[in-house]
Amino acid sequence: MNTKSPVPSVPVPSASAFLPGDPSISKEGIPLLDIKDLKVSFPDENGTVKPIYRVDLTVKANETLGLIGESGSGKSILGLSILRLLPGDAEVGGKILFKGQDLLSMPSTELRKIRGREIGMVFQNPAASLDPIFTVGGQLSEATRVHFAFDKNAVKARVLGLLDRVSIKDPALRFGQYPHELSGGMKQRVMIATGIASEPSLIIADEPTRGLDVTVKRRIISLMQKISRDTAMLLVTHDLEVAEQLCDRVAVMYAGEIVEIAGCEEFFKAPLHPFSEGLLNSLPSRGMHAIPGTSPSLIDLPSGCRFYPRCRYSMDICRTRHPELVPVDNAVDGAVNGDMNAFFDAGRLVRCFLYA
Ligand SMILES: Nc1ncnc2c1ncn2[C@@H]1O[C@H](COP(=O)(O)OP(=O)(O)O)[C@@H](O)[C@H]1O
Ligand code: SF4
Ligand SMILES: [Mg+2]
């Protein structure tokens, strides 16, 4: 079934509004998502928890950017902060520009038009996110009605199309069923259908394969691959296998900071930051060598490199000085030679004194 057949009543600003030659830049010269100097903190009885510290990140139109790292490094907080979905006590600083507009400072009424409409969310844990007292069709119809003023029959046709698009067999049967009647994999497909219901130009997916068995995980990866052909995606995952199969670029988080940004292929071939190297070495296919130690407390962060106590390459400078996220040499060379496109294409950034 063609999900695009019913015509939305509101014009959809789509990713195709962005120039094909340079997918990061729109016709107006604006990146799709541009996170600038993002800081998030929470007051705590023991001090201030700082899960995000000075994060700069860009998602280009039509690309899939993977946000990877250990559990507790701030990935979900970053994803939630984009749509201002953090708890009320969170203090958020910086800018999050979506098509040039700052999501953090715009009025809530404006943000509501973007949330779920131009930016779709696929949350982790579908069992908790789907409402047990509403049918699958009811929940998806609601998500569809909120964004498009279709009549009842058109909404149903659109929802059946969505279920078909996420490869749920027998959509008419599933339409009338409740979440508990669905398998884990099917629930996750319904969550994905909710995320894409409005044909957003950006999807934020947080651990979309967590808790799924290997076979179901493979199917969800293949579904996400299909969806990512039309939509930009910020994929939050601790699962490197998922990132490798889905992403165009990866950004590695460690203790609230980005420590490396690289093209996916070059990253998996040759990670540069020592933490990235440790992450890859902990994969079963690479010997399962766990990184010794634990990440620092987000209340009492060290003044030097945050990875210092766990790093096998640490030097004296790393203990006292905090490294910046800087382009690695080959990218800088490209820029110095006047080829700014080479600089952006290479776009490899590392926060480590080994490369500074
Ligand atoms: N509401 C909150 N108050 C205080 N700390 C929080 C809150 N929510 C999350 N954190 C802390 O922020 C850190 C990052 O969390 P999160 O983004 O969920 O990590 P992950 O990378 O696993 O997604 C964790 O250490 C977590 O304990
Ligand atoms: S800055 Fe130093 S301690 Fe930090 S990752 Fe690089 S080498 Fe290791
Ligand atoms: Mg998380």
74 lines ligand 1 (CB under 6 A): yes
| Cα 294 to averaged position of ligand 2 atoms, centre (Å) | 15
291 lines ligand 2 (CB under 6 A): no
* Residue 83 resides in a domain: yes
Q: Which of 39, 33, 79, 75 is nearest to 57 (CA)?
A: 33
The residue type at 338 = G
Supply the pLDDT for residue 339. 47
141 lines ligand 1 (CB under 6 A): no
Give the CATH number of the domain where residue 330 resides.
Answer: 3.40.50.300
Supply the pLDDT for residue 1. 34
DSSP 8-state assignment for residue 26: B
Q: What is the pLDDT of residues 260-290, one digit of tens each?
A: 999 999 999 999 999 999 999 999 999 999 9
296 lines ligand 1 (CB under 6 A): no
| Cα 184 to averaged position of ligand 3 atoms, centre (Å) | 19
* Residue 16 resides in a domain: no
> Exposed (0-12), middle (13-18) or buried (19+): which is 2, by Cβ within 10 Å?
exposed
* Residue 321 resides in a domain: yes
Instruction: Determine the average pLDDT of the residues in 94-105.
Output: 97
The residue type at 347 = G
**How far are the Cα atoms of 22, 304, 341 from residue 338, in angstroms, in the given order?**
17, 34, 9
Q: What is the pLDDT of residues 225-247, one digit of tens each?
A: 999 998 999 999 999 999 999 99
Question: Which residues are placed with Cβ below 5 angstroms of ligand 3, an ion?
Answer: 76
* Residue 318 resides in a domain: yes
* Residue 9 resides in a domain: no
* Residue 42 resides in a domain: yes
| 289's tokens | 């060598």
The residue type at 114 = I
| Cα 273 to averaged position of ligand 2 atoms, centre (Å) | 8
**Ligand 2 atom index nearest CA of 273:** 5
- CA-to-CA distance for 260 and 331, rounded, in angstroms? 14
**Domain residues for 246?**
31-350
- Over its C-alpha atoms, the chain yields an Rg (Å, rounded) of 21
Q: By percentage, how much of the chain surpasses pLDDT 70?
A: 86
Mean pLDDT computed over every residue of the chain: 86
The tokens 């930051």 sit on which residue?
273
> Exposed (0-12), middle (13-18) or buried (19+): which is 20, by Cβ within 10 Å?
exposed
| Cα 332 to averaged position of ligand 3 atoms, centre (Å) | 33
Query: Is residue 156 classed as helix, strand or coil in its secondary structure?
Result: helix
Per-residue buried b or exposed e for 237-252, using 16+ beta carbons within 10 Å of the residue's own CB = bbbbbbbbbbbbbbbb
In this prediction the pTM is 0.87
Q: Which of 261, 150, 143 is nearest to 197 (CA)?
A: 143
The secondary element (H helix, E strand) that includes residue 91 is strand 91-98
* pLDDT higher than threshold 90 for residue 26: no
Q: What is the pLDDT of residues 155-191, one digit of tens each?
A: 999 999 999 989 899 999 999 999 999 998 899 899 9
Q: What pLDDT band is residue 21 in, cutting at 50, 70 and 90?
A: very low
Q: What pLDDT band is residue 346 in, cutting at 50, 70 and 90?
A: low
As for how many domains the chain has, the answer is 1
311 lines ligand 2 (CB under 6 A): yes
49 lines ligand 1 (CB under 6 A): yes
* Residue 12 resides in a domain: no
The answer to whether the CB of 306 falls within 8 A of the CB of 266 is no
* Residue 19 resides in a domain: no
Instruction: Determine the average pLDDT of the residues in 188-206.
Output: 92
